Structure 1
Amino acid sequence: MTTALLHLDNRTWTESEFLAIGETPERIELFDGSLHVTPGPTPIHQRLSTRLAFILTPSAEAIGLFVHEAINVRVGTNRIPIPDLAITTMIDFEELVVDASDVRLICEILSPSNATTDRVLKMRYYADAGIPWYLLAEPKTATFTLYKLEGSEYAVHATAAPGELLEITEPVVATIDPADLLPPR
């Protein structure tokens, strides 16, 4: 199954109409008035997400930040992607959408169905919204790339492959060897 952009009834969706859909088992995102639907993630994707959250959470909470998996983040008018992980300041935990101004780091884990979306579209949205850090994890190569927002663009800050250490110093402090996040082989 591949990613789809839906224009149901050939119309543009507003944020309020999108939010009225409510919780669904599918991952539905709003991109400039179009609904973006992807299939559920693979087990390796979920393992990376869970283990990465486990590593980042103690450091985040020690300084008053929070790690979230798969939350709605408003990055602009009619733009609500669902990143795999987000580190935020204190937010209203009951709200359905988190504003980009509360996000300090976004992480996307590439999936075969959405690699281009994560590398291009979402990266652009996150940069436009001013999110300072973007972590991109590639399960096939087990490579992690940390980007820092410089002006209006992300620039590579650090990269690590299995057996190498990714040192994160902002917004949290963490050392990650991508090999530690992979399933046993």
Structure 2
Amino acid sequence: MVLVDPVQEDYSVPWPPNRPLTRDDLDRIPDDGHRYELIDGALIMTPAPTRRHQRAVAALYRLLFAAAPPELEVLFAPFDVVISADTVIQPDVLVAHRADFTERDLPKAPLLAVEVLSPSTKGVDLMLKWAKLEAAGCTAYWVVDPDTPSLIAWEMRDGAYAQVAKVTGDEVARLTVPFDVTLVPADLTS
């Protein structure tokens, strides 16, 4: 934690204290190798993921990349998704129209955001990110638990997320949004 001397004009942190942070503040954070996100102006730092987490992310990326139509792009974290000036997230895997990307970020909700759960991020992924992506109109949100292994998938229906799949182990999920893909949770970590 960095303490700020109120007499000193030059802050020891890249933004003034005592206010919610914005995308501009996030851009001023030095590149220190950590993954930073903003949710409602609150800074969230995510520790390095486990090997099992990374294996699941890599398997999801390969599966989605192979199935994606040419007009869609599949990326993995870290890559900024700007929901609003005070909410910038980095889904573990995301899918969006190629035309919607800038070189720097995705300035709107993706078609699909996928989070692979870790003990340190489970609450943020299942509550905060889920709610922010739903409100922003992200068409589909998946959460993978590599420890179980399991998948829960939601799709936007009448402005709210509806659960469309919940599978564990060797069970098969056949999903159609944003494109057809078949997923077996156990295959993501084997």
**Helix, strand or coil at the partner of 1:106:** strand
Moved more, 144-153 or 110-119: 144-153
1:107-118 to 2 correspondences below 5 Å? 107-118=114-125
Q: For 2:166, which of 156, 159, 169 is the aligned residue?
A: 159
Partner residue, 1:87: 95
Q: For 2:41, which of 33, 37, 50 is the aligned residue?
A: 33
Following TM superposition, by how much is the alpha carbon of 1:175 offset from its aligned partner in structure 2, in angstroms? 0.8
* TM-score normalised by L of structure 2: 0.85
Q: For 1:150, which of 140, 157, 169 is the aligned residue?
A: 157
**Helix, strand or coil at the partner of 1:75:** strand
Give the distance between the partners of 2:102 and 2:127, measured in 1 at CA: 30
Amino acid at match of 1:53: Y
Give the distance between the partners of 2:97 and 2:31, measured in 1 at CA: 23
1:62-73 to 2 correspondences below 5 Å? 62-70=69-77, 71-73=79-81
Amino acid at match of 1:128: A
Give the distance between the partners of 1:23 and 1:160, measured in 2 at CA: 38
**Helix, strand or coil at the partner of 1:28:** strand
CA offsets, 1:50-80, max 9 Å, x none? 01100110211x3411111011101123100
- The 8 Å contact of residues 101 and 107 in structure 2, kept in 1 or not, is answered as no
Gaps of 5+ in 1: 1-6
Amino acid at match of 1:86: L
Give the distance between the partners of 1:152 and 1:39, measured in 2 at CA: 33
Partner residue, 2:23: 15
Partner residue, 1:182: 189
**2:82 is the counterpart of 1:74:** yes
Gaps of 5+ in 2: 1-14
Count residues with an aligned counterpart.
175
Evaluate the alpha carbon distance shift between residue 92 and residue 100 of structure 1 in structure 2; reply closer, same or farther with a 3 A threshold: closer
* TM-score normalised by L of structure 1: 0.87
Following TM superposition, by how much is the alpha carbon of 1:9 offset from its aligned partner in structure 2, in angstroms? 3.0
Evaluate the alpha carbon distance shift between residue 96 and residue 137 of structure 1 in structure 2; reply closer, same or farther with a 3 A threshold: same
**Helix, strand or coil at the partner of 2:111:** strand
Q: Following superposition, which runs of at least 4 residues in structure 1 exceed 6 angstroms of deviation?
A: none
Evaluate the alpha carbon distance shift between residue 141 and residue 83 of structure 1 in structure 2; reply closer, same or farther with a 3 A threshold: same
Following TM superposition, by how much is the alpha carbon of 1:100 offset from its aligned partner in structure 2, in angstroms? 2.3
| Alpha-carbon RMSD | 1.9
Give the distance between the partners of 2:172 and 2:149, measured in 1 at CA: 12
Amino acid at match of 1:48: A
- The 8 Å contact of residues 67 and 180 in structure 2, kept in 1 or not, is answered as yes
CA offsets, 1:19-61, max 9 Å, x none? 232644111001122211110111111100001100110211x
**2:56 is the counterpart of 1:48:** yes
- The 8 Å contact of residues 91 and 98 in structure 1, kept in 2 or not, is answered as no
Partner residue, 1:137: 144
